[in-house]
């Protein structure tokens, strides 16, 4: 089954993993230390993130390090951009209404 990036970020643990590896590449063991679940559970989350291409793995000696794939994060940003434009338009309209009300109160 092909997963998409939105399935990956739907889970709070996976969002936390993304937040951690956005700062620096980490091994599964290092990631597991940040959670109250088993290393296997964290590994399953990492597998989903890897399938969605949000996370890349890099072999360094005997260790595997996981790092964020910023290109895939752009997909999320592009989707959010459409809503950002709507919100900004509505806030600008609200500013105009509030300014008009202030002027009428004077």
Cβ atoms within 10 Å, residue 74: 11
Could you give the number of structural domains in the chain?
1
Query: Mind listing the pLDDT tens digit for each residue in 67-99?
Result: 999 998 898 999 999 999 999 999 999 999 999
pLDDT of residue 64: 95
Strand pairing report for 55-60 and 63-68: antiparallel
pLDDT of residue 28: 93
Q: Which domain holds residue 22?
A: 5-105
- The CATH number of whichever domain residue 67 belongs to comes to 1.10.10.10
**CA dihedral sign of residues 97, 103, 104, 106:** positive
């Amino acid at each position: 089954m092909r997963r998409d990036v939105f399935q990956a970020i739907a889970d709070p643990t996976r969002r936390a993993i993304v937040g951690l590896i956005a700062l620096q590449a980490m091994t599964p063991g290092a990631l597991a230390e940040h959670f109250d679940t088993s290393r296997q559970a964290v590994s399953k989350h990492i597998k989903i993130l890897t399938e969605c291409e949000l996370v890349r793995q890099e072999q360094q000696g005997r260790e595997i390090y996981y790092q964020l794939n910023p290109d895939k994060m752009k997909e999320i940003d592009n989707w959010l951009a459409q809503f950002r434009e709507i919100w900004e338009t509505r806030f600008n309209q609200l500013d105009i209404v509030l300014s008009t009300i202030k002027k009428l109160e004077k």
